[in-house]
């Protein structure tokens, strides 16, 4: 392997590490939201609560990161 090949592989590895770190942070947030909603489901029914919208956004972010990882 040439030096540019190794440098490219290292760059890709760093990018994958960053994506996985971001995924982990989002998954932790999703899990916190699920626990909150399971313990107090009545919160969702209150006007102005955006818990479900936030949860949906987190799932979309996780999906996007997962797809980025495959590229």
pLDDT in tens, 34-69: 999 999 988 887 888 899 999 999 999 999 998 887
- Kindly report, residue by residue over 61-71, the tens digit of the pLDDT: 999 998 887 76
- Does the predicted TM-score (pTM) go above 0.75? yes
Q: Mean pLDDT in the chain?
A: 90
Distances (CA, A) of 66 to 7, 10, 16, 22, 34: 24, 20, 10, 10, 20
Domain extent for 19: 3-70
Contacts of 51 (CB under 8 A, 6+ apart): 33, 36, 37, 43, 44
Say how many domains are in the chain.
Answer: 1
């Amino acid at each position: 392997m040439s030096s540019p090949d190794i440098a490219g592989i290292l760059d890709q590895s760093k990018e994958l590490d960053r994506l996985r770190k971001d995924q982990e942070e989002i998954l932790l947030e999703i899990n916190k939201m699920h626990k909150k909603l399971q313990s107090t489901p009545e919160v969702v029914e209150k006007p102005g609560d955006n818990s479900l919208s936030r949860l949906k956004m987190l799932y979309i972010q996780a999906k996007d990161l997962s797809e980025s990882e495959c590229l």
